[in-house]
């Protein structure tokens, strides 16, 4: 069985430090971090779209974000 994979640009020391942090966080902590990162990514996507298309009304911006993230078909519903 294969063990956990390490990024090619990460030293073994950095990899172990990250694993140690993840162990200390536990499942709930890791989930919280993942949710926070997802929220940050959504805010960045919205800000980037707003910067590129300041003319879009809020509803059009929301529809565009959904389309860009999930695909054209779901964005039209």
Is 7 among the domain residues? no
* Helices marked H in the chain: 12-52, 58-70, 72-76
pLDDT one digit per residue (tens) for the chain, 77 residues: 556 677 888 899 999 999 999 999 999 999 999 999 999 999 999 999 999 999 999 999 999 998 888 886 664 55
Domain that holds residue 47: 12-76
Total domains, the chain: 1
> What is the reported pTM?
0.68
Separation of alpha carbons 26 and 31, rounded Å: 9
Is 51 among the domain residues? yes
**pLDDT tens track for 39-51:** 999 999 999 999 9
Is 24 among the domain residues? yes
């Amino acid at each position: 069985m294969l063990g956990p994979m390490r990024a090619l640009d990460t030293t073994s020391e950095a990899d172990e430090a990250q694993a140690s942090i993840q162990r200390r966080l536990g499942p709930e902590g890791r989930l919280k971090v993942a949710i926070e990162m997802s929220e940050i990514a959504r805010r960045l996507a919205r800000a980037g779209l707003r910067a590129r298309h300041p003319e879009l009304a809020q509803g059009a911006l929301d529809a565009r974000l959904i389309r860009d993230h999930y695909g054209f078909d779901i964005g039209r519903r």
